Structure formats: structure tokens, C-alpha cells
Amino acid sequence: MIRLAIAATVLLGAGWVVGMSPGQKESRGAQQVLKHIVLYKFKDTLTTAQVDEVITAFKALPSKVPGIIGFEAGTNVSKEGKSDGLTHSFVVTFASVADLDTYIAHPAHQDYVKIVKDRREKVVVFDYWVK
């Protein structure tokens, strides 16, 4: 336990932020970023191909929409049983609210929404600032 605490202190002191992927650093005094989290529970009637189409379309957005400075996607692996049926997570990072607004209104995002809107049973969207 003490070794873990020491390791965490060393990593944080070196500029590593808990929750970031390996190789991704945040320097001290860095500007805040806006995280846009989208969580889905897809309809049970969807095929694997239909879910994959949604995932592929979402993953393509960073190459189509300006202002996206980070993107992550994954499926739920929690063993706590508190996901309320949500299975897929997408985290899109922006430098500003204006960039998020551009993303939401962008035609590529609107095309994506057309693909996903009738395939999801539940969606949660949550935005927050991180330093």
C-alpha cells in the first residue's frame, strides 16, 4: 500500500494525471479542457453490424470536425453493476465551449446523429471542465 502511494505521488509530481492514457501528459498550469461524455445503451434489436456502424461513425468525427483536441471510446467493463444498462462510452475533448458548439452544429455531427438516434435506447450526455 505504501509503495502504491509513493508511486502515485511520483507520477502525479511528474505531471501525470490519473485517468489519462499512457503517454498522455498534462503539464502543471495547463489550460482547462472541456470533456463531452456520451454514454449509450443500444436497443436490444440491433445487430452487431449496426452497433459497429455507430461506433465507426463516431470515431470518424475527430477527422471531420475542427476543434476536437481529444477522443476516447470504449465499452463498459465495470463489475459494480451500476451502469444502468449503459454499454458504450465516448469522450470528446474541446478547448472551449465555442469548439463544443461548433461540433454540435457541424454537418458531420448532424449526420452522425441521424445514424444513432433510432438505435439507442438510452443516452446520457455530460459535459465538464478539467484542468
Q: Where are the domains of the chain?
A: 30-130
The CATH architecture assigned to 30-130 reads 2-Layer Sandwich (3.30)
What would the mean pLDDT of 26-47 be, rounded to a whole number?
Answer: 87
DSSP structure class, residue 112:
H
Give me the catalytic one of 40, 106, 109, 128. Answer: 106
The dihedral over CA atoms of 57, 60, 66, 68, expressed in degrees to the nearest 10, equals: 100
Instruction: Please tell me the predicted confidence (pLDDT) of residue 25.
Output: 44
Whether the CB-CB separation of 70 and 95 falls below 8 Å is answered with: no
Give me the catalytic one of 36, 103, 112, 128. Answer: 103
Residue 103 catalytic? yes
Which H or E run includes 39?
A: strand 33-42
Residue 88 catalytic? no
Report the mean per-residue pLDDT for the chain. 84
Grade residue 29 by pLDDT with cuts at 50, 70 and 90.
low
Instruction: Determine if the pTM surpasses 0.85.
Output: no
Alpha-carbon radius of gyration of the chain: 17
Instruction: Please tell me the predicted confidence (pLDDT) of residue 56.
Output: 98
Return d(Cα 42, Cα 3) in angstroms, integer: 41
